Amino acid sequence: MRLTKYEHACFTVEKDGKLLVVDPGGWTTDLGAPENVVAIVVTHEHPDHFDVNALGALVSHNPDAVIYAQENIVSQLGEALPNTAVVAGEGIEAGPFKLEFYGGEHAVIHSDMPIVANLGVMINGTLYYPGDSFTLPEREVNTLALPVSAPWMKASEAFDFLTAVKPKIVFPTHDAILSDTGKALADRMMPIFAEKVGATYQRLAEAIEING
């Protein structure tokens, strides 16, 4: 599979000429309008992950693509955008992609703020992305998309999550709120913990090939 990281929390996975898009939110400006999209996963309703205009643009170029998200998101899409509601514990197949969903809730930002639904996703049994949470997949992970900065987390939680998952490859995501200096700091600290579990930490400036 070919993995490409875009701004903030968005990435794509390509296999057999088909494309999966994950979290094309409002803070992602560099995705463009890729072709051959068969599935789009939206982990939760926050606008940095869920943007109706971005979804509409993707579907207009890929009318057979299906959006997979929890019911609170698909209920907002109407019939104009093809969609399927999914829940944690469910597995589906979309073209060459097997998607398994985890978790169910967004990490707590503050006790005074409501907790929204959130899904982690495992792609083809090899690439895991927890969305806005640190939900453990409780299984072997080859490649981990690791949130590195957010109002709902602190660095120590990311360190602990990384060392608990023990992936072979880990790349940073959810980092649009960081300056270049902040990203450089994450890139200095995360490898320390990656190395403890034999993982390779890599900021994805270009597409890479991964198992799956």
Domain ranges of the chain: 2-110+117-204
At residue 140, the pLDDT reads: 97
The pLDDT > 90 percentage for the chain reads 97
At residue 116, the pLDDT reads: 93
- Give per-residue pLDDT as tens, 12-42: 999 999 999 999 999 999 999 899 999 999 9
Distances (CA, A) of 42 to 75, 134, 172, 187, 190: 13, 16, 18, 26, 26
Reference 158, options 99, 199, 210, 124; nearest CA is 199
Q: What is the average pLDDT across 155-159?
A: 98
Q: Could you please report the per-residue DSSP string of 109-127?
A: S-TTSPPPEEEEEEETTTE
d(CA 147, CA 127): 14
At residue 33, the pLDDT reads: 87
At residue 165, the pLDDT reads: 98
Give pTM, 2 decimals.
0.97
- Give per-residue pLDDT as tens, 103-134: 999 999 999 999 999 999 999 999 999 999 99
State both tokens at 173: 């995501």
pLDDT tier at 78 (50, 70, 90 boundaries)? confident
The CATH architecture assigned to 2-110+117-204 reads: 4-Layer Sandwich (3.60)
Q: What is the average pLDDT across 177-202?
A: 98
